[in-house]
């Protein structure tokens, strides 16, 4: 890894390489989203924190919409899925792990998946989303497996705000709650992002906009993102999952207009405006999730129909 880091620091061709990848990444580049699709590989089952807007019957809402439960794939099945998706859906430039739990809660499957995918599809761009708790502990391996794009969900930078968003944090098998949970999560998230940027990863921060909980704090997160050298900032309206803590206590969800109102004054960082809050098994163009068209048949997948997803 050290050689790679040296290359990033000294060799401009490495920067050009990243520029070329960004031009084909549908999330990091709005223009690219018209022509290039992504496939999410749902190989990460468990989670190591508890967000108050989440209920674990559903996909991770830090990178997906609630209301759907994805089937899990093994790393080997994930490779097969890419073959099928490419066959039916054409130009897929990115393969990503985005749940349905946290990609790094139990990193073994995630790493194995990236390793196999890179071997079979050397040109595909590898991407991953995480809550950030285990990010700094896994950066070296992520780099070695070929991942270059990482999204970290950062919903607060102050403990006083974060303690209202998370029920608990499980770090190295110790359960932290309340203020302690917020402290350790924020520390790990910031450290992970800082190290990832320095290492040469292209980083996006997702912030879930939660009315009355962190809406007044989104601009502070944007400022921190700028200081950390984050490439892209994506604010997502919270959709409280059924039976989540926030739903039970009556915290209302947000809508896209709330996001636009809050982000319009933010300058000095790229703002993502085309996020589709996709499922952890999404496939195809961002505006046209075709995962529902693909059904499992004797270990394979079959293209079924071409209904567009509603937004
Ligand atoms: Fe997937 Fe996320 Fe990578 Fe994209 S999604 S892990 S960066 S390849 Fe994209 Fe979907 Fe929005 Fe995510 S539209 S939810 S930002
Ligand atoms: Fe749920 Fe939060 Fe874990 Fe995602 S990171 S699965 S939203 S608890």
Per-residue pLDDT tens over the stretch 55-89: 877 778 788 776 566 689 999 999 999 999 988 87
Predicted pLDDT at 301: 42
With a 6 Å cutoff on the Cβ, whether 236 touches ligand 2 is no
pLDDT of residue 63: 80
User: CA nearest 121: which of 148, 89, 160, 82?
Assistant: 82
pLDDT-derived band at 7 (thresholds 50, 70, 90) equals very low
* 8 A C-beta contact, residue 236 and residue 208: yes
Say what the pTM is: 0.89
Q: Domain locations in the chain?
A: 2-297
Residue indicated by tokens 């984050």: 230
Is the model's pLDDT at 1 over the cut of 70? Answer: no
Q: Tell how far the Cα of 174 is from the centroid of ligand 1, in angstroms.
A: 30
Give the ligand with the smallest distance to the CA of 204: 1
Asked if the peptide bond before residue 300 counts as cis, ω within 30 degrees of 0, the response is: no
Q: Is the shortest distance between the CB of 103 and ligand 2 below 6 Å?
A: no
Report which protein residue has its CA nearest ligand 1's atom 7.
27
Confidence of residue 302 (pLDDT cuts 50, 70, 90): very low
Pocket test for ligand 1, best of 41, 96, 110, 282 (most atoms within 8 A of CB): 96
- Take residue 195 and report the two structure tokens written for it: 């190290």
- Say whether pLDDT at 307 is over 50: no
Read off the pLDDT of each residue in 282-311 and give the average, rounded to a whole number.
54
pLDDT for residue 169: 97
Q: 169 in the Ramachandran plot: left (φ > 0), alpha (ψ -120 to 50) or beta?
A: beta
Higher-pLDDT residue of 172, 60: 172
Give the C-alpha separation, 172 to 230, whole Å.
27
Using the predicted structure, report yes or no on whether residue 9 has a pLDDT greater than 50. Answer: no
45 has a pLDDT exceeding 50: yes
Chain mean pLDDT for the chain: 87
Judged against a pLDDT cut of 90, whether residue 270 lies above it is answered with: yes
Question: What is the structure's pLDDT at 99?
Answer: 85
pLDDT at residue 18 in the model:
60
Higher pLDDT pick, 56 / 22 = 22
- Distance (angstroms) between ligand 1 centre and the Cα of 278 equals 7
Please tell me which residue, 305 or 78, carries the higher pLDDT value. 78
279 close to 291: Cβ distance less than 8 angstroms: yes
Ligand 2 pocket, 49 CB below 6 A? yes
Contact (Cβ atoms closer than 8 angstroms) between residue 226 and residue 219:
no
Pick the CATH number of 2-297 from 3.40.50.620, 3.20.20.70, 3.30.750.24, 1.20.210.10: 3.20.20.70
Task: Centre a 10 Å sphere on the Cβ of residue 248 and count the other Cβ atoms it contains.
Answer: 12
The residue assigned the tokens 């006083």 is 160
Q: What are phi and psi of 270, to 5 degrees?
A: -65, 135
Cβ < 6 Å from ligand 1: which residues?
27, 38, 40, 63, 94, 96, 98, 127, 129, 149, 151, 204, 234, 275-278, 286
**Residue-level pLDDT at 298:** 37
Do the Cβ atoms of 160 and 183 come closer than 8 Å?
A: no
Give CA–CA dist 249/134, Å, rounded: 29
Q: Residue 284's beta-bridge partner residues?
A: 38
CA of 52 to the centre of ligand 2 (A): 9
Other residues' Cβ atoms within 10 Å of the Cβ of residue 5:
15
- The maximal CA–CA distance of the chain, rounded, in angstroms, is 53
**Which segments within the chain are labelled E, that is strand?**
37-40, 49-51, 92-97, 125-130, 147-153, 166-171, 174-177, 202-209, 232-237, 270-271, 283-284, 294-297, 300-303
Question: Quick check: 277 pLDDT over 80?
Answer: yes
pLDDT band at 290 (very low <50, low <70, confident <90, very high): low
Among the listed residues 132, 182, 190, the one whose alpha carbon sits nearest the alpha carbon of residue 162: 182
DSSP 272: -
pLDDT of residue 292: 63
Instruction: Name residue 174's beta-bridge partners.
Output: 171
Q: At residue 308, does pLDDT exceed 70?
A: no
């Amino acid at each position: 890894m050290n050689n790679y880091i040296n290359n990033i620091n000294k060799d401009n061709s490495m920067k050009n390489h990243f520029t070329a990848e960004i031009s084909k990444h549908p999330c990091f580049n709005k223009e690219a989203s018209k022509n290039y699709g992504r496939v999410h590989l749902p190989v990460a089952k468990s989670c190591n924190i508890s967000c108050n807007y989440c209920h674990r019957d559903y996909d991770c809402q830090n990178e997906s919409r609630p209301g759907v439960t994805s089937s899990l794939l093994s790393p080997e099945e994930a490779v097969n899925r890419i073959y099928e998706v490419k066959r039916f859906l054409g130009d897929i430039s990115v393969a990503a792990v985005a749940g349905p739990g946290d990609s790094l809660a139990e990193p073994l499957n995630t790493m194995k998946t990236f390793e196999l995918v890179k071997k079979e599809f050397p040109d595909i761009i590898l991407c991953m989303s995480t809550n950030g708790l285990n990010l700094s502990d896994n950066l070296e391996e992520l780099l070695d497996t070929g991942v270059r794009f990482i999204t970290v969900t950062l919903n607060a930078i102050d403990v006083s705000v974060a303690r209202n968003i998370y029920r608990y944090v499980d770090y190295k098998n110790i359960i932290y709650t309340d203020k302690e949970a917020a402290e350790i999560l924020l520390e790990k998230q910031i450290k992970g992002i800082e190290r990832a940027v320095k290492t040469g990863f292209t980083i996006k921060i997702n912030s879930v906009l939660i009315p009355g909980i962190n809406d007044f704090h989104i601009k502070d997160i944007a400022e921190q993102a700028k200081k950390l050298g984050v490439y892209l900032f994506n604010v997502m309206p919270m959709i409280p999952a059924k039976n989540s803590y926030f739903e039970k206590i009556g915290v209302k969800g947000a809508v896209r207009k709330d996001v636009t109102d809050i982000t319009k004054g933010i300058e000095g960082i790229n703002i993502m405006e085309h996020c589709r809050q996709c499922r952890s098994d999404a496939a195809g163009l961002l505006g046209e999730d075709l995962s529902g068209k693909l059904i499992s048949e004797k270990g394979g997948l079959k293209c079924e129909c071409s209904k567009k997803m509603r937004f």
